[in-house]
Amino acid sequence: MQESFLQFLGENIQIFLSYTGFANATPGHIVMLLVGLLFIFLAIKYEFEPMLLIPIGFGILIGNIPFKDAGLQLGIYEEGSVLNILYQGVKQGWYPPLIFLGIGAMTDFSALISNPKLMLVGAAAQFGIFGAYIIALQMGFDPSQAGAIGIIGGADGPTAIFLSSKLAPNLMGAIAVSAYSYMALVPIIQPPFMRLLTTKKERLIRMKPPRAVSQTEKIVFPIVGLLLTAFLVPSGLPLLGMLFFGNLIKESGVTRRLAETARGPLIDVITILLGITVGASTQATQFLTLNSIKIFGLGALSFVIATCAGVLFVKFFNLFLKEGNKINPLIGNSGVSAVPDAARISQNVGLEYDPSNYLLMHAMGPNVAGVIGSAVAAGILLGFLG
Amino acid sequence: MINKKIGVLLLLMVLFSMGAQAQLTTSVKLNEVLVVNEDNFVDDYGKHHPWFELYNNSAGTVDLRGCFLTNDKSDPRKYMIPKGDVLTKVPPRQHILFWADNAPTKGTFHVNFTFDPNKDNYLALYDSDGTTLIDEITIPAGQRADVSYGLDIDGIGKWAILDKVTPSTNNVTLDSNEKIENFQKNDSLGIGMTITAMAVVFIGLMILFLVFKQIGNAAIRTSKRNAQRAAGEGIAVSANAGQESGEIFAAIATALYEMSDDNHDIEHTVLTIRKVQRSYSPWSSKLYSLRQTPNKK
C-alpha cells in the first residue's frame, strides 16, 4: 500500500517535471532569453527606446519560456490563449493604426508647414526602403518578403508591423524586432555617415528661422494632407487616415480631451500590448533562423541607405537654392521617421561644429515628413505586392 | 439652431444609409447555375438536382431571409427564403447554394421550382418587398449535363459556360500568385518597383509641398494685412512679429526638453510652464449637481 503510494507520488512528480521549463528548454530558448535580457539591459542602462525595448524584451522572455504543449492554451500561437487574443491586434494589423492615431495627436507639423520644401527630404530618405528591397531580392527573398523587409528602412515600427503582417506574416517577428532595435540604435548608426558625407562648410550652414504658423494652417494640414496622400495611395489609408485624424483632433483646439486620450492613455496601452506581443511572438523555433539573421543585416543596411539618401538629397537640393535659403545637410538624416530621435541627432551633430546652430526645429520638418513618406511607401508596397 | 441640428441629423442619416447600402441584399448576385445535374454535386439527401448559387459581393454579411427567388417573371414572390434560419446569412465574398428540385419541404435551400433543360430558364432574386429586383438571368436552353453556366469572375464578370463546376466555391481560383510572379519575371532587380514607388512618394509629398507653399504664402499675406490694419488702429505690433530667431525657438525647445526630463519630474518643487487646466465635463460640473434656484416671479 505504502509502496504503491510512493510509486504513484514518484510518477506524478516525474510527469510534473516533464512539464517544467527546465525539462523542455532547448539551446534556442536560452539564446532568445539572452536576447530578451539584452533588450531590457539596453533599455535600462543606456535608455535606448525604453518604452519599446522593455515591453519587447520582456515579451521575448514570456514567449520563450519552454513548456510542453498540453493543450492548455498558453502559447501565443495557440488559438484562444490570452496571448493569442492580444496578438490579434498585431496579426490583423489594428495596433499600428491606433499607434498612428496617437502619433498624429502628439506631432506638431509646424516645422513642416513653415518650410514645406523639407517634405522632399522626407521623401528622399524613403530610398532606404527600396534600397533594402533591391538587396533583399538579390538575397533570394521573394518580392512580397523583400517589400516587408525593406520597410524597416522607413524607421517606423508600427508601419513595419502593419506591412509585414500583410505581406510576410511569417517574418513579422524578425522584422518588428529589427525595426525597433535599429530605431533604438539610430544615435549610433547615423552620425558617422552624416559626417562622412558632409564638408565642414556644409555642417555650418545656418538656416532661416521658421516662421510662426497660424492655427488655420495647422487645421488645414491634416485635412489636405489626408485627401492628397490617400487619394494617391488608398492602400495607405489605415495609417494615413489615423495619423491625420489624430493631428486634427490635436490642432482643432475643440477636442482637447480626445487628443489627450489619443496621445496619452490610448497610445500607452497599445504600445504595451504591441511591444509585449511582438516580443512574445519571437519564439525560438520561429525566430532563430537564417532568414532572421539576413533580416537583421538588411535592416541595418536600410537605415544606412536612408541616412545617406537624405543627406545626399539635401546636398543636391542645395545646388538649386539661393544663398541664404540653403538647407544644412545634417538634417538630411531626419528624413527617416524615427521621431524625434533622428531630429535630435541632427541637433547634436550640428552643435558639435557650431554650438549656437540649433537644427532641432528644422530637422523636425523632414522627420515628420518621413512619417508621412513611410506610410505612403508602405501603401505603395501593399498596393503592388499585397 | 434647431434647424441646424435637424440638418446635421439628416446629413448623418443620408451618410449612414449610403454606408449601409453596401451591405444590403442588393450586393448579392446570381453567380452559377447547373441546369442538368446527372453526376455532379449531391444534396443533403444524396440526390442529384439542378442547383444555383448566389454570391455576396460585399465586405459585410448579408441576410437573405425574406427575399424572393423565382423562375417566373410574372410571379416575383414565388419562393420566399424562410425567416429564422441562421444559415441564410451569407458572409462577405462567400456563396449560398439553392437546390431547384421543386421540393420546398426538404428545407430552406430547396426551392419550389425547377429548371427545364429544353428551354430558356429564367431566374431572379427579389428583395424582401417582393418588387425590387436584385438580379436576374436567363439561362439559354440546351445546357450540357454537369456543365455549369455562371459568371466568369465571381459577382462581377460575364455569364458564360464555366470550365469547372464550382458549387459553393469561387468560380475563379488562382493556381499561382500572378502579381508576384510578374514582379519576379519582369523586375528581378527591383529597379522598376524602386523607380515607381519613389516617384509616387515624391509626387505625393511634392503636391503637399506645392499646396502648402501656396497656403503659407496666403497665410503670410493675411498676417501682414492684419498687422497693417492693427497698426492703422493704433495697436502696437512688433516689427518682426512671426520672425523670431531660431535661438528663441531652440531655447524654448531646450527648456521644454529639460522640463520633461526624468530628473525634473520627480522634484515636487520644480517650477514649470505647464498649463494647469481642468477638463470641463457636464458629468463633473458642480453646476449640474445643484438644484435650480427657484425662480420667484
Looking at CA atoms only, how far is residue A120 from chain B in angstroms?
6
pLDDT band at B150 (very low <50, low <70, confident <90, very high): very high
Amino acid residing at B45? Y
Contact A257 B193 (CB under 8 A): no
CB contact under 8 A, A229 and B204: yes
**Alpha carbon distance A381, B128 (integer Å):** 43
Least Cα distance to A165 among A91, A110, A226, A109 occurs for A91
Preceding amide of B91 cis, omega within 30: no
How far apart (Å, rounded) are the C-alpha atoms in residues B200 and B211?
16
Which candidate from B180, B216, B249 shows the least CB-CB separation from A113? B216
Going by CATH, does the domain composed of B2-174 fall within 3.30.70.980?
no
Q: pLDDT tens across B205-247, in order? A: 999 999 999 998 898 888 888 888 887 766 555 555 555 666 7
Residues of chain A with Cβ-Cβ distance to B205 below 8 Å are: 119-120, 122-123, 369, 372-373, 376
Q: Are A281 and A172 in contact (CB under 8 A)?
A: yes
| DSSP 8-state assignment for residue A262 | I
Q: Nearest chain A residue to B181 by CA: give it.
A: A143
CB < 8 Å to B200, chain A: 232-233, 376, 380
Q: State how far the Cα of B24 lies from the Cα of A175, in Å rounded to an integer.
A: 40
Q: Which residue has the higher pLDDT, A376 or B21?
A: A376
8 A C-beta contact, residue B198 and residue A126:
yes
For chain A, positions 200-259, list CB contacts with chain B under 8 A.
206-207, 209-214, 216-217, 220-221, 224-225, 228-229, 232-233, 256-257
Residues from chain A contacting residue B59 (CB–CB below 8 Å)? none
Separation of CA A198 from chain center: 27
Cβ-proximal residues to A133 (8 Å cutoff; 6+ apart), any chain: A146, A147, A149, A150, A381, B190, B193, B194
Cβ of residue A113 closer than 8 Å to a chain B Cβ? yes
CA–CA separation, A121 and A328 (whole Å)? 11
Radius of gyration from C-alpha coordinates of chain B? 34
| Per-residue model confidence (pLDDT) at position B284 | 57
How far B212 CA sits from the closest chain A CA (Å)?
A: 6
What's the ipTM?
0.85
Provide the angle, in degrees to the nearest 10, between the axes of the packed helices A157-167 and A172-184: 160
Tell if the CB–CB gap between B203 and A120 is shorter than 8 Å: no
Q: Do B194 and A360 touch (CB under 8 A)?
A: no
CA A308 from chain center: how many Å? 19
Question: Which pLDDT does position B19 carry in this prediction?
Answer: 45
pLDDT band at B21 (very low <50, low <70, confident <90, very high): very low
For residue B22, pLDDT over 50 is answered with no
Q: What residues of chain B lie within 8 A of the CB of A112, using their CB?
A: 212
If you average pLDDT over residues B157-177, what whole number do you get?
87
CB contact under 8 A, B243 and A209: yes
B163 pLDDT more than 50: yes
> Is there a contact between B184 and A210 if contact means CB atoms under 8 Å apart?
no
Closest partner residue to A119 among B184, B205, B281, by Cβ? B205
Q: Which of B201, B211, B248 sits opposite A228 (nearest CB)?
A: B211
DSSP letters of B58-97?
SSS-EE-TT-EEES-TT-TTSEEPPSS-GGGEE-TT-EEE
- Grid cell, residue A19, equals 512539464
> Which residue in this structure is represented by grid cell 531630429?
A343
Mean pLDDT (10-residue bins), chain A, 386 residues: 82 89 90 93 88 91 86 81 91 90 91 90 93 94 93 89 90 88 87 95 90 90 92 89 95 93 94 92 84 92 94 95 91 87 91 90 90 91 88
**Average pLDDT score over chain B:** 81
Residue-level pLDDT at A111: 86
A384 touches chain B (CB under 8 A): yes
Q: What is the pTM of this model?
A: 0.74
Residues of B in contact with A340 (CB under 8 A): none
- pLDDT tens, residue by residue, B245-287: 667 777 787 777 776 665 455 555 555 565 555 555 556 555 5
**Helix residue ranges, H only, chain B:** 2-21, 178-186, 191-232, 246-259, 262-265, 286-289
Tell me the shortest Cα–Cα distance from B15 to chain A, in angstroms: 19
Calculate mean pLDDT across residues B89-118: 92
CB-nearest partner of B180 from A138, A143, A376? A143
Q: So where are chain B's domains? A: 2-174, 176-231, 244-276
Supply the pLDDT for residue A68: 81
Q: For residue B18, is pLDDT > 90? A: no
Q: What is the pLDDT of residue B7?
A: 65
